[in-house]
Structure 1
């Protein structure tokens, strides 16, 4: 897979999610959400869920787990995704022809 594949799948997921998402909660999650709502008093419960997604995303980026998953599945990193170019494209390494080791030292 490649950066183009990642972009295509991201656009597809973004469209599928839409503006609202119905989420089934188990007992533990419902209990934790109720406690957070009581303690933090947000305007809406949705705000806590949005914050939770942001925190999970940031933690995943900071720990390197996102890069690991992206490299494993798409052979790119988060920085490459953000820039829209792979490291080889940024450095120009993909512009040179591959070396033929058998003919490398022949004149």
Structure 2
């Protein structure tokens, strides 16, 4: 997989989301959501879900978990996705031909 594959997968996922996203909650999640809503008193429960997604995303970026999964699935990192270029493309490493070790030091 590549940077282009990741971009295509992101566009596909984004287009599948409607304005209203229905999520089923298990008992533990429902209990935790009720506690957060009671304690934080947001205007709407949706606000807590948005915050939770932001926190999970930020945590995944900071711990390197997102990069690990992106590297495993698409062979790119989040920084490469943001820049639109792979590290090799940024440094020019993909522009040079491979070295032939047998003839490397022959004149």
> TM-score band (shorter)?
over 0.9
Measured after TM superposition, the shift of residue 18 of structure 1 is 2.7
List runs of 5+ in structure 1 lacking aligned partners: none
Output the CA distance in 2 between the equivalents of 1:84 and 1:102: 36
Measured after TM superposition, the shift of residue 102 of structure 1 is 2.1
Deviations along 1:47-78, whole A, 9 cap, x unmatched? 00000000000001100101111111111111
TM-score w.r.t. the length of structure 2 is: 0.95
* Matching residue of 1:87: 87
List runs of 5+ in structure 2 lacking aligned partners: none
Output the CA distance in 2 between the equivalents of 1:78 and 1:101: 34
* Matching residue of 1:75: 75
TM-score w.r.t. the length of structure 1 is: 0.95
Is 1:62 paired with 2:49?
no
Measured after TM superposition, the shift of residue 94 of structure 1 is 0.7
Output the CA distance in 1 between the equivalents of 2:80 and 2:19: 27
Measured after TM superposition, the shift of residue 83 of structure 1 is 0.5
Is 1:44 paired with 2:44?
yes
Measured after TM superposition, the shift of residue 31 of structure 1 is 0.8
